[in-house]
Amino acid sequence: MDSVGATARTPRNELSRWKSYRDEEESLPLLQHGAPKTSIAVVDDAPTDASDKYFKVGLYGLVNAIILVPLMISFAQIIFRDPVFQPFLSELVKLTMVSGAVHQLCFSLSSTLPFAVGQVQDAGLIFLSAMATSIVSILKASNDAVTMEDILSTTLWTLCGSTALLGVALIITGKLKLASFVQYLPMPVVGGYLSFIGFYCFEAGLSMMSSKEITSILDWHKLADAKSMLLCAPGVVGGIFLFVMTQRIRHFAVLPTCMLSILVVFYLGMVISGSSFEDARAFGWIAALPNGTLSVADMYKHFHTDLFHAEVLTPQIPTWIAMYFVVAFSSSLDVAAIEMALHKPLDHNAELQTVGWSNLVSGLTGGFTGSYIFSSTIFSMKSGVDSRWTGGLIFALEIALVLSPFSIIAYVPKLFFGSLNALIGIDLVMEWIVHAKKSMLWAEYAILWFTFLIMNFWNLEAGIVLGIAAAGINFILSYVESTVVRRVARQSLVKRDLRERALLYQVRSAIVMLELDGFVFFGSSVAILNQVRKHITTTDVLERSYAHVPTVRTRFVVLDFERVRGVDVTAVRSCFTATKEHLMAHGITLVFAALPASVRGMFELHDVLAQSSVFDTMEMAIEWCEDTLLQMNGATPILDQMQYHFAKGKVTPLLESFLPPPTCDDAKLDDALLQTYFVTSKEPAGKRIYESGDEVQGVYLVGKGQVDVFVPRDIHEYMGFEGRKRIVRVTHGAWLGDVDMVLNNRHNLTAETKSPCFLFYLDRTALAKMRIEHPHLAARFDSAMLQSMAMWIMESHGNEA
């Protein structure tokens, strides 16, 4: 643990240290017997005897109490930092200690962690302090005659009622399993708030030590006199001393030892100077004695229902709402940090309910908000204390101090508590103002500072609300700047005649394919429209182009919505309607692919799909665009020529048209050679040509029709997917199984006719015979297959480019 100030967060550097812990590092050096144990939750799980176990319980319970009791006193002075509460601070300190004891009892009885430590926590006390100060201001500003008893009663009832109500809210949150919901609070806002806690605690320490009202940095000028500086300087130096020592030396005894040394130095100074407690109180080193002894009844004597002013409640509602989210969030962080140190999962909802019950009981007993104390919980865990008696001892010691008739703050110097406040302040400010810069983006770090400054110069609630708003704006800007639209280079999974493929390769840039990602909203509309304008090539651009490489005019813009989760109505109007009108003005067809049902319904309502083409998949959209491009660029005569050959029953000229031109007479194909080397067949739709795993006996050339090549259903489902997966569609003039014949002895995929087909089949034996008897003709077939494979490589390279 870095310091006692880090009660609502994962301490700096601890995360990486936990990840590298070895089993033998899980224990503290004190009271270890024999070889290191390998237990994770509690290391020293086999004490030598019962006396050793109880000695450990007593020792670590006492060490925790030594740290926590001064902390509770400091927290009480922070909650009731307004000067009007100073005469009653002795009773209020003991009331805070009762609250801490109640929290500890609840955690010891109900937490799933036997070593859990729970007390009044810094995450909520700032809100309670803001409420207390607000109530004082409201009542003082009222026209009614308000006494100090009115202020005390109203303040105490409001604070304990807010705590109890917070407990109910946390219990409900845990019951409904909504612990993850409260973790949506942006981390920069939390960081700004924790920085504010540190600064607030530091100012509270200055105010306590100087006995002057310091509520903001604008009041620091009040400390300019020599006496105030003399009273505050030792406490600030003590806080720096505690911070440096706890950072430099990683040992559980460092903090209590340093705290004790501050007291020793002060009391030793009193002895050397010959000063008495009365002299110290008179100068301001120690708080004044209360009037008479304090009893339990004195702590609750200010709870008068007839003096409660209900009109102060409404202004506290925003503060309470902010307190709910921050306490729930910080408690979730504490549980997460404990979970990581424990190396086993915890039920966040159950632990949040434990925090809720603790706050409910604390509020009903007149106490204040609290949660897990991360530092003490981890300290107890690593000490090997697997007993709820440790928490019971902390509870007993706190209650014993509460029942004592004297006031602790009347004998302990203010600089001691000021040192603790300074420690909390320095630690949190260093963590979130200095070190957090390395772990945040600059925009997030700016939001942290923005939240911190608003809380200091305006108020706490405004800081949280405006911080969240700033985080939301930052998210919108970041989302807009991120690549929500990307240009992709793809071709359809249709294997065509070599001539058609060559033609498509020349004009493929006429199809602009854009892949959209995420949720398309009003902020991303301009970016998408700009991307469309950037990538299309219109007639005007062609006329102004001086490029040596021929430029093709854009004919189609395909928008792929497969990764889109939704579209808002503003984007529909400002982006897609505008895009459609812009493209239509330049004679470009807008094509939509893979539209989600909700998006398609929205587009239909706003008439976006009119005069546009819509396809279920990106593959279907690309295939349609390619077919249309082929028709626009003269591919129809090729198809007409094939239809003519079929109509005449001349299959030899058809096969000839699929091969490279002959280089000599011996390379020409005639009917006799066709019958010698080839087998022709007409296959109906749905006919299996070959199965995955079959031996490769030859190669096919599709003369007419379409053949689908796919991964079989059983293999695809074995890979974790559903159904079968089509890899390619082979059409007229394209080779089927050529790669398998060159590379493999067995087919990797399955081929099945999509429509009635006419196939040419050339087996291995016939091809070998052709290479011997008609080598020039065989060279044409080899060349055709090599050209087909080369075209695939060139097309793939074009896609990557």
* Length reported for the chain: 801
- In the predicted model, what is the mean pLDDT of residues 426-442? 88
pLDDT at 481: 67
pLDDT at 43: 42
Same domain, 328 and 209: yes
| Range(s) of the domain holding residue 265 | 49-473
Burial of 564 (0-12, 13-18, 19+ CB in 10 A): buried
Instruction: Say if residue 465's pLDDT is above 70.
Output: yes
Same domain, 559 and 705: no
pLDDT at 637: 54
pLDDT at 40: 36
SS3 for 567? strand
Same domain, 196 and 89: yes
Domain membership flag for residue 34: no
Same domain, 642 and 628: no
Decide if 363 contacts 171 (C-beta within 8 A). Answer: no
pLDDT at 723: 58
Helix H or strand E segment including 91: helix 89-110
Same domain, 602 and 649: no
CA dihedral 670, 673, 677, 682 (to 10 degrees): 40
SS (H, E, C) 40-87: CCCCCCCCCCHHHHHHHHHHHHHHHHHHHHHHHHHHHHHHCCCHHHHH
pLDDT at 30: 33
In sequence order, the 6+-apart residues with CB closer than 8 A to the CB of 387 are: 53, 57, 114, 115
CA atoms of 451 and 474, how far apart (whole Å) = 13
Selection from 617, 593, 592 nearest residue 729 by Cα: 617
Q: Residue 681's pLDDT band (boundaries 50, 70, 90)?
A: very high
Q: Residue 405's pLDDT band (boundaries 50, 70, 90)?
A: confident
Instruction: Say if residue 560's pLDDT is above 90.
Output: yes
Same domain, 145 and 283: yes
pLDDT at 482: 65
pLDDT at 276: 92
Selection from 502, 376, 456 nearest residue 72 by Cα: 376
Q: Residue 34's pLDDT band (boundaries 50, 70, 90)?
A: very low
**Cα separations in angstroms, 18 against 112, 279, 339, 725:** 21, 49, 11, 45
Q: Which of 632, 655, 675 is at the close of a domain?
A: 632
Question: What domain count does the chain have?
Answer: 3
Q: How far apart are the first and last CA of the chain?
A: 53
DSSP string, 253-307: THHHHHHHHHHHHHHHHHHHHT--HHHHHHHTSSPPPPSS---HHHHHTT--GGG
Same domain, 93 and 240: yes
Strand partners, 163: none
CA atoms of 38 and 35, how far apart (whole Å) = 10
Span of 273-277, 505-509, 540-544 with lowest mean pLDDT: 540-544
Whole-structure pTM value: 0.64
Q: Domain holding 597: CATH number?
A: 3.30.750.24
Same domain, 617 and 660: no
Span of 228-232, 236-240, 522-526, 700-704 with lowest mean pLDDT: 522-526
Same domain, 627 and 677: no
Q: Which strands form 757-763's sheet, in the order they lie side by side?
A: 679-683, 757-763, 698-704, 735-736
Extract long-range pairs of 308-312: CB within 8 Å, 24+ residues apart.
Answer: 308/153, 308/154, 308/157, 309/139, 309/142, 309/146, 309/150, 309/154, 311/138, 311/142, 312/134, 312/135, 312/138, 312/139, 312/154, 312/158
Q: Residue 566's pLDDT band (boundaries 50, 70, 90)?
A: confident
Same domain, 610 and 644: no
Q: Residue 101's pLDDT band (boundaries 50, 70, 90)?
A: very high
> pLDDT digit string (tens) for 706-744?
999 988 766 655 555 555 678 888 988 889 988 888 887
Q: Residue 108's pLDDT band (boundaries 50, 70, 90)?
A: very high
Q: Which of 632, 660, 688 is at the close of a domain?
A: 632
Q: Are strands 757-763 and 698-704 parallel, antiparallel or unpaired?
A: antiparallel
Q: Are strands 556-567 and 511-520 parallel, antiparallel or unpaired?
A: parallel
Same domain, 360 and 464: yes
Q: Which residue has tokens 């060559």?
A: 502
Q: Which of 632, 655, 690 is at the close of a domain?
A: 632
Domain membership flag for residue 149: yes
